[in-house]
Structure 1
């Protein structure tokens, strides 16, 4: 009986461990908070969109492009990894511009830090903010 109880305890402990691991491996969703939207002065075909984009641990930013330019600034950094490559730090203060139609991203946030990025887009009105890269 003791041996059976010990085995049952081991099975339950392993099962709890698997559940705990599975819960932490669940992909998280990217949170986009629109902070503002405005037409471009003198141009009825484009608009400016400002967003706070939060990438929690486990979130994947799929490879995509924009119908316009994106200027970004990393407010809170973290570590990302593209499949088959070494992890890379996205430090606070990193900044850049993603040009119209050029695919970028395609990484997953690894580690325990949420990455927060302020993005400002100048995009074509009536088109999606981003589209999947071919």
Structure 2
């Protein structure tokens, strides 16, 4: 075996070991979360990466220089919460179905049901969570700075 093949084999083995370790850590972490939820008599929470579905509906210039309007349908599986995030402009959230709890930084939590709406000021960090037992949907309308990322994940 040439020196290059040995080096490549060593690198591949290292990558395989790191991948296996990360997979094992993720599995243990998920198992602990599932057990904690079961101990509390709750169904395990789904990850927002798999429990949220976003459908872009409209994206248009607003007619005000540097501003655009974006409208998105967001479906949440039961128990799923968005990550804490903010937007570079205002958001108006309208609940189409289900029940949501919204946590807005600096404000008390609010629970909304189908037909209710909520104004979220520009740059306000927030979390939306489906607190019901069925899929919940919201229509999110943003008026934001054009050519700016729509979402900023907060720590």
Please tell me the TM-score bracket, short chain as reference: 0.5 to 0.7
1:116 matched to 2:127? The reply is no
Distance of aligned partners of 1:41 and 1:88 in 2 relative to their CA distance in 1, 3 Å threshold: closer
* Mapping of residues 12-51 of structure 1, within 5 Å: 25=44, 27=46, 28-43=50-65, 45-51=66-72
Normalized per residue, the structure richer in strand is 1
Question: For each residue in 1:23-43, what CA deviation from the matched residue of structure 2 results, as whole angstroms up to 9, or x when unmatched?
Answer: x63614211101111001141
What is the Cα deviation at residue 115 of structure 1?
Answer: 1.3
- Consecutive unaligned residues of structure 1, counting only runs of 5 or more, are 1-17
Q: How many residues align?
A: 107
- The residue aligned with 2:88 is 67
TM-score, length of structure 2 as denominator length: 0.59
Normalized per residue, the structure richer in helix is 2
TM-score, length of structure 1 as denominator length: 0.67
Q: Is the 8 A contact 2:52 2:76 kept in 1?
A: yes
For 1:37 and 1:81, the matched residues in 2 are separated by 24
- Consecutive unaligned residues of structure 2, counting only runs of 5 or more, are 1-34, 104-108
Q: Secondary structure at the match of 1:116?
A: strand
Q: Is the 8 A contact 1:46 1:125 kept in 2?
A: yes
What is the Cα deviation at residue 124 of structure 1?
Answer: 1.1
For 1:110 and 1:104, the matched residues in 2 are separated by 15
